[in-house]
């Protein structure tokens, strides 16, 4: 049983899930796009220094097409996701974006690479998406903004495209320099959208430490792990496993920030765990 690649991707999703809790320590009125820009610059820039020092990047033979596409898609993902939250709120925006990504990943993998989704993936993804919906089923007088949902679905599609493209990028480049180049390019693409709010907030020590954590742990390490596991896991399965991100965020909020989770949310936690369990054991048992 080859569980290690699945475990590595799950660990990357857990690291992504810590960003929400980390952002609660940020001080000041800060644009989410600016946060994405800085974390990408820190994460990508640090790895780029390492890659260049170790001469891991060969400019003439570098797979520029796949790398540029990966940078564009991950930048668009962050832009669409953060924009959707402004219109729909965190809960609905997260469900629509993260919950739709596995569906888009399966469809894209089928259409672009002719890889038909496995029965195990369909069952596990159904469990995980239902769990994600229950996890954030807060009720109340929440209204659904159609434009916000469209932005969220676009974000889910972009993350699925990023994963599919990165799958091919890892076949042509080592994981560390691939992540370094992708997020360095991503930060450059995000600068024009993050510049309006300014970056003076980075002058606070608390903000600096929080951003370095998000840059080094939730970006550098997390995406190196994600792409490392992606070498041996299908794109559709990897995106389904990434649903551990909102699960981690919800559990950290409940246990460390004192946020209340209704019984439906705990049921959602159980469904996500079931989906991940089915996918991990079901896939790895056949390899």
pLDDT digits (tens, 9 = 90+) for 128-183: 999 988 887 755 545 568 898 999 999 999 999 999 999 999 999 999 999 999 99
Per the CB < 8 A criterion, the answer to whether 197 and 30 are in contact is yes
Q: Tell me how far apart the alpha carbons of residues 227 and 9 are, in angstroms, rounded to a whole number.
A: 8
Separation between Cα atoms, residue 241 and residue 11, nearest integer Å:
10
What is the model's pLDDT at position 1? Answer: 44
- Give pLDDT, residue 138: 58
pTM of the model: 0.90
Residue 80: pLDDT band by 50, 70, 90 thresholds? very high
Distance CA 14, CA 35 (A): 19
Cα(90)–Cα(122) distance, integer angstroms: 26
Is 107:189 a contact under the CB 8 Å cutoff?
Answer: no
Return the domain boundaries, the chain.
Answer: 4-285
End-to-end CA gap in the chain: 6
């Amino acid at each position: 049983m080859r569980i290690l690649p699945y475990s590595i991707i799950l660990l990357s999703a857990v690291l992504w899930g810590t960003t929400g809790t980390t952002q609660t320590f940020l001080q000041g009125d800060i644009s989410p796009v600016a946060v994405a820009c800085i974390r990408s610059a820190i994460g990508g820039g640090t790895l780029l220094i390492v890659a260049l020092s170790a001469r891991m990047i060969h400019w003439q033979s570098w797979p520029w097409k796949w790398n540029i596409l990966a940078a564009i898609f991950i930048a668009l993902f962050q832009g669409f996701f953060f924009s959707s939250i402004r219109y729909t709120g965190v809960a609905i925006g997260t469900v629509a974006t993260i919950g739709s990504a596995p569906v888009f990943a399966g469809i894209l993998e089928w259409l672009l690479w002719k890889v038909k989704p496995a029965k195990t993936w369909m069952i596990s993804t159904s469990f995980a998406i239902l769990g994600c919906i229950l996890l954030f089923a807060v009720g109340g007088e929440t209204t659904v903004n159609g434009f916000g949902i469209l932005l969220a679905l676009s974000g889910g599609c972009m993350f699925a495209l990023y994963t599919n493209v990165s799958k091919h990028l890892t076949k042509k480049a080592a994981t560390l320099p691939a992540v370094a180049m992708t997020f360095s390019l991503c930060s450059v693409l995000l600068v024009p959208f993050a510049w309006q709010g300014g970056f003076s907030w980075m002058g606070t020590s608390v903000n600096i430490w929080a951003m370095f954590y998000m840059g080094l742990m939730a970006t550098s390490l997390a995406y190196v792990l994600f792409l490392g596991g992606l070498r041996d896991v299908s794109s559709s399965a990897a995106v389904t496993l990434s649903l551990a991100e909102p699960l981690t965020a919800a559990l950290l909020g409940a246990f460390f920030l004192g946020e209340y989770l209704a019984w439906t949310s705990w049921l959602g936690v159980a469904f996500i765990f079931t989906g991940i369990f089915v996918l991990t054991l079901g896939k790895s048992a056949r390899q």
